């Protein structure tokens, strides 16, 4: 008798194989030998083998499967990393005595994010940014359509301070999976224009920022927000 195909049966073997190696050691480059006053991170959160519903993935990748079969969108797009391994990342080696950490998170990962920031030597302070993705996914308690950037501090506030009118709430339509709105890094740049800054788990390299991750090509690009595009 042919065994029924389920989402977990499709995902579990790849998940188990992947967890046998430390993604950070096996794939990521060494951290820079430099100190930063501003760190911006979008950790590749691991959801413990649970499948994640993602409508864009369902439409584009689940060809030939029934609608009730969902693949884990995060794990199939890029290698995710367990919290334990993320905590072992030596962020202290690149963080200045006075440093801010801005970290992306989702509702289910909120507690883990605070735990990770503390493991990296920072104290949780507030929610710096709220992103309304203008499209929702099913959630366990309510329809989910927001992500958050948490702010952590180590030592004192980096000086000098730039803009003080950067807004917390960002309403930009969601793009490809996990791609974050450039309005956030633009806001951080305006608040701290002169500080040494690095983006961790970066996909692009922006002017005025160093980058570290698997997907950067080394070419620097300007920060152009949606509002900038509309005014061109």
Region 75-94 average pLDDT: 83
Answer whether residue 101 is part of any domain: yes
What tokens appear for 14 in the block? 């790849």
d(Cα 118, Cα 65) in Å, to the nearest integer? 42
Partners of 213 in beta bridges:
none
pLDDT at 52 over 50: no
Answer whether residue 113 is part of any domain: yes
Residue of 4 and 53 predicted with greater confidence: 4
Max mean pLDDT range (33-37, 41-45, 79-83, 104-108)? 33-37
14-18, 36-40, 206-210, 220-224: range with lowest mean pLDDT: 14-18
14-18, 45-49, 111-115, 150-154: range with lowest mean pLDDT: 14-18
Answer whether residue 216 is part of any domain: yes
Question: Residue 13: what pLDDT?
Answer: 55
Give the pLDDT band (50/70/90) at residue 217. Answer: low
Region 188-216 average pLDDT: 92
pLDDT at 1 over 50: no
Region 54-81 average pLDDT: 48
Question: Residue 214: what pLDDT?
Answer: 79
Answer whether residue 67 is part of any domain: no
Answer whether residue 5 is part of any domain: no
How does the average pLDDT of the chain come out, rounded? Answer: 80
Answer whether residue 68 is part of any domain: no
Question: Residue 65: what pLDDT?
Answer: 40
pTM strictly above 0.85: no
Q: How many domains does the chain have?
A: 1
Residue 193, CA atoms < 13 Å, CB-side half-sphere: 6
pLDDT at 132 over 80: yes
Answer whether residue 66 is part of any domain: no
Q: What CATH number did the domain enclosing 45 receive?
A: 3.40.50.150
Question: Residue 199: what pLDDT?
Answer: 97
């Amino acid at each position: 008798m042919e065994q029924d195909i389920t989402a977990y049966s499709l995902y579990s073997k790849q998940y188990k194989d992947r967890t046998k190696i430390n993604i950070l050691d096996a794939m990521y480059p060494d951290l820079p030998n430099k100190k930063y006053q501003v760190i911006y991170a979008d950790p590749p959160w691991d959801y413990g083998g649970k499948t994640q519903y993602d409508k864009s993935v369902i439409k584009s990748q689940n060809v030939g499967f029934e609608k009730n079969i969902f693949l884990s969108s995060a794990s199939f797009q890029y290698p995710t990393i367990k919290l334990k391994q993320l905590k072992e990342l030596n962020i202290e080696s690149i963080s200045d005595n006075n440093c801010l950490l801005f970290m992306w998170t989702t509702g289910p990962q909120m507690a883990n994010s605070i735990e990770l920031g503390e493991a990296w030597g920072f104290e949780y302070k507030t929610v710096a940014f709220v992103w309304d993705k203008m499209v929702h996914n099913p959630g366990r308690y309510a329809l989910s359509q927001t992500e958050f950037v948490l702010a952590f501090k180590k030592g004192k506030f980096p000086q000098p301070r730039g803009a003080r009118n950067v807004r917390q709430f960002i309403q930009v339509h969601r793009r490809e999976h996990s791609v974050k709105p450039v309005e956030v890094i633009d806001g951080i740049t305006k608040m701290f224009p002169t500080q040494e800054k690095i983006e961790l788990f970066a996909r692009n390299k922006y002017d005025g920022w160093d980058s570290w991750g698997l997907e950067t090509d080394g070419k620097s690009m300007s920060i152009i927000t949606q509002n900038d595009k509309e005014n061109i």
